[in-house]
Chain A
Amino acid sequence: MLRKTKSYSIWEQIKDNLFIIGITIPSFLYLFAFLVIVLFYLFKFSLGEGLPILSVFAEIEFREALWRTFWFMLVGTPLQLVVGIILALLVYESFKGVGLIRSLFLVPIAIPALVTAVIINLLFSYPFGHINDLLLGKYVFFPKILSFPLNFSGSEFFSIGLAMLGKVWRDMPIAMLIILAGLQTIDREAYEASEIMGASFWQRFKYITLPLLTPAISTVLILRSIENWKEFIFPFIIAPAYPLLGVLIERLYHVEQNPQLACACALWLVIFIGTTTFLFTFLTKTVRSQLIKV
């Protein structure tokens, strides 16, 4: 639609395409304005008096939260990837009823994260809840493992672990769908050829599926690591006593009324996300070039 003639000046071009510009600009302007506002406040607060962006490291709470979030990301991301790959392999080949099972596998995405966190809190409640009753051997079908109820929310290991469980449960369809899309691009003839040559299941997975799946895997790793860094709802509901970075930001802002430090945390979060994304991109590229030998 944009006409290109040499005699056209920029103004005439704009005038000619006023309609297109007029209907495209508002939404982008809205998004862009808020992006500018967000960055402006983040920098203004975190570079303000006392340079909160550096002084935040003096806070033990921040260092602990950073460490926890780092582990949350480092363990949670591969976990989500593995679950995604397993689920995708289960429903990849078509059989009777595969459509129904695929739809069932998508159910968690329809449960709001807040509700998922609440369900986990209900299941693991202390002192009387289903999981505690189960571990105490109160149900006939399960052996007694504990002699006293466990307070899951009072232990750093368990509460962060449960937050991760919630995250994995709720987001597994996303990882599965990306891997499934990756699997569907692999040429079936490669498998047939390898089968004729007598390759085992493991050999097929290692030499065909895995190398050809690396683009999908890298997408999952990058998107999921971003999601794990910025996770807020699950740790906020399940592990409030052991804040991750997101929870710490909320606490600094609402409880300690310190928007400067909160924004410093928020800015560091963005920086960590950027770094991790870069590292994962680099890593998966290297691995891919190692796996694929032409």
Chain B
Amino acid sequence: MGNLLKIILIAITIFFIIFPIFILFKYSVSDRDSVVTGGRYPEPFWPFEPNFKMFESLSVRNDFLQSGIVSLEVGFLTVAFCLFLGVPSAFALARFKIPGLAILLFFLLSVRLFPDISAVIPVAEQFFKKPLSLLPPVISVALAHTLLSLPYTIYIAKGVFESIPRDLEEQSQVLGASRAYSFLRILVPLALPGLGAAAIYTFLLSWNEFVFAYFLMFQGTESTLPVYLLRILTWSPQKNFIAAISLFICIPVIIFTFAVQRYMRTGLTAGAVK
């Protein structure tokens, strides 16, 4: 009896999770008749003539491709800034006794609890003023995204360094390796998968981010993909066009979210030192 209820509840939940994603996919492969019904017939749950025309037309739209490139640039710049600033800090936080460590970590967390929508106007005002206004929008958005994702990067990277036993380095040095050699040959290879996960996480955060990109790119012509989607929405285009862009934004996020999770779970060095 209890089991049956549980199975039913799980089935309902899975339906509620999958259904919206299915609908998004359905719209993105819909033909015109399945979207513009005019009320003569109900909207079908599967298009009359499924096709990939929307994606084909997207692939030759210059404004869409331009936004995609801007999104990629912002994402990679954010990753670069975050790793450059965050990884050394995380290494220091994980390896050295730093006075006031708890306060620093609390500060990192509290920065993230500060509402984005409250922080965005001051940040935007600062970026609109000289000297920061001289930066191209791509860089200013990347700097703003760095602000958002740096605490996460530091947290993840700190966890990565903490999971690598210090003894490994010390043992290699006992065996005659120099500090630099043991750093490059022991620490870096062991940390790389975890840091890769941190980089992917940072990239996804930037790829998804809407508020800061929207405020910083409000007046310009350049836009990241989420901002492009919003601009498209104001023309109220056909549903299949909206759905195709939305799905395009989703795909890398869905793929990489699960890739990152797998990386996080692998106990890399479990049992390396006994």
Give the residues in chain A near B146, CB-CB below 8 Å: 30
Q: A41-B125, A110-B253 are in contact. Are A24 and B24 (CB under 8 A)?
A: no
> 17 A-B contacts, Cβ less than 8 Å apart?
A20-B98, A23-B89, A27-B154, A30-B85, A37-B122, A101-B10, A110-B258, A111-B254, A113-B208, A120-B20, A125-B239, A130-B23, A138-B41, A237-B233, A253-B121, A263-B121, A266-B121
Q: Does A112 contact B (CB under 8 A)?
A: yes
Instruction: State whether A1 touches B96 (Cβ < 8 A).
Output: yes
Annotate A38-53 by CB proximity to B: 1 below 8 A, 0 otherwise.
1111100100000000
Of B13, B23, B88, B246, the contact of A24 (CB 8 Å cutoff):
B88
Of B38, B113, B250, the contact of A111 (CB 8 Å cutoff):
B250
Give the residues in chain A near B229, CB-CB below 8 Å: 114-115, 118
Question: A residues bordering B, Cβ < 8 Å?
Answer: 1-2, 17, 20, 23-24, 26-28, 30-32, 34-35, 37-42, 45, 86-87, 90-91, 101, 103-116, 118-120, 122-123, 125, 127-130, 133, 138-139, 169, 201, 226, 229-230, 232-233, 237, 245-246, 249-250, 253-254, 259, 262-263, 266-267, 269-270, 273
Instruction: State whether B85 touches A112 (Cβ < 8 A).
Output: no
Annotate B16-50 by CB proximity to A: 1 below 8 A, 0 otherwise.
11101101100100000000011101110100000
Known: A133-B43, A270-B114. 6 other contacts (CB 8 A): A101-B10, A110-B254, A122-B23, A169-B16, A233-B211, A273-B115
Q: Does B91 contact A (CB under 8 A)?
A: yes
Give the residues in chain A near B37, CB-CB below 8 Å: 128
Instruction: State whether A31 touches B108 (Cβ < 8 A).
Output: yes
Instruction: State whether B108 touches A115 (Cβ < 8 A).
Output: no
Give the residues in chain B near A116, CB-CB below 8 Å: 20
Q: How many A-B residue pairs have CB under 8 A?
A: 203
State the Cβ distance, A257 to closest chain B Cβ, in Å: 12
Instruction: State whether A139 touches B121 (Cβ < 8 A).
Output: no
A259, B120: Cα distance in complex, Å: 11
